[in-house]
Amino acid sequence: MVFVGPSGCAKSTTLRMIAGLEEISHGDVYIGDKRVNDLPPKDRGISMVFQNYALYPHMSVYENMAFGLKQQKLAKSEIELRISEAAKTLEIEHLLQNKPGEMSGGQRQRVALGRAMVRKPDVFLFDEPLSNLDAKLRVSTRVSIAQLHSDLKAEGQNATMIYVTHDQVEAMTLADKIVVLQAGRIEQVGSPRELYERPDNLFVAQFIGSPKMNVLPCSLEEGRFSLHGHGGGPYPYAGSGQTPVKLGIRPEHISLATPGEGHCTGTVEVAEYLGADTFLYVALDGLETILVRISGAEDVEEGTRVGLTFDESRLHFFDGEDKAIR
């Protein structure tokens, strides 16, 4: 389960309430069938992985991973077995005698993962664990977390993970379910595909998906919609009887056409070539600029006049309160 949302939306606060690091004002927190409102963090059966690793700098990797197990008074042989298994899974066996200061950020985060694993918790809590890593390490460590989840499930162990991030790519690739938060409120809960294809409102529609959805003003008349100020329409509208005031279309659901054809026409202001893809920023004749994602094989120069055709099966409509119209 991944919590996503903009800064200050209560992602980390919610995680800390589950962990027992913040008091809740009302309601109940259950882990499994156990009410944990009054239990201290150490008794809740959780392991938490932090953004800043939170390793003891004076201890070796082995000692960091063993610390919590020694507090539980586990036998030395059991401690050695758990650390050996976790180190093998995370490929940090060669680092067990190193201290945190002798390792890279990615290695330290793997150690933090290992320390969480060896406790065999009921729930893993991740608080933006990859935000301090560079792009390449973020990808490899993300894969490690996904593999850890799969391995735990395959072994029949507890594999519940609650993961906080502001990076929606992490959310989309890791999550079974995503919770989209805004200003302390849940906007929508669903699988990555559900949120991408059927957002409940404009906030979710623009937050999920990269690059984000284009939004254009539109109107409805006699079962057909028109785009305001762009000379587009009217086009067939298959929605409900509600009147849409905004149309959403993702950049990847727009294709190029001859100027004057398609749903609207504009001028390419900026073309960003990214290899497999090219992003075109197109100033529509009604002055608004929208983003179009095309294949990198298409060569379109800045200043080119283009028509834009929307995939009408991929259109999203929103009412005056920004709620999706199904």
Coarse DSSP helix, strand, coil percentages of the chain, rounded to the nearest 5 percent: 30, 30, 40
Q: What is the pLDDT of residue 237?
A: 67
Give 94-147 pLDDT, tens digit per residue: 999 999 999 888 888 888 888 888 888 889 999 988 887 788 878 888 888 888
User: How far is the CA of 2 from the CAs of 45, 143, 166, 174, 191, in angstroms?
Assistant: 19, 15, 10, 8, 10
Domains and CATH numbers, the chain: 2-198 (3.40.50.300), 211-325 (2.40.50.140)
Q: Which two tokens stand for residue 24?
A: 């809740």
Give 153-209 pLDDT, tens digit per residue: 888 877 899 999 988 889 999 999 999 999 999 999 999 999 999 999 999 999 999
Lowest mean pLDDT among 12-26, 93-107, 225-239: 225-239
Residue 228, pLDDT above cutoff 70: yes
Q: With beta carbons less than 8 A apart as the criterion, state whether 256 and 263 touch.
A: no
% of the chain at pLDDT higher than 90: 57
Q: How confident is the model at residue 241 (pLDDT cuts 50, 70, 90)?
A: low
Q: State the pTM of this model.
A: 0.85
Q: What is the pLDDT of residue 106?
A: 81
Q: How confident is the model at residue 264 (pLDDT cuts 50, 70, 90)?
A: confident
Residue 4: burial class (beta carbons within 10 Å; 0-12, 13-18, 19+) = buried
Q: Which two tokens stand for residue 309?
A: 């055709």
Q: What is the pLDDT of residue 238?
A: 64
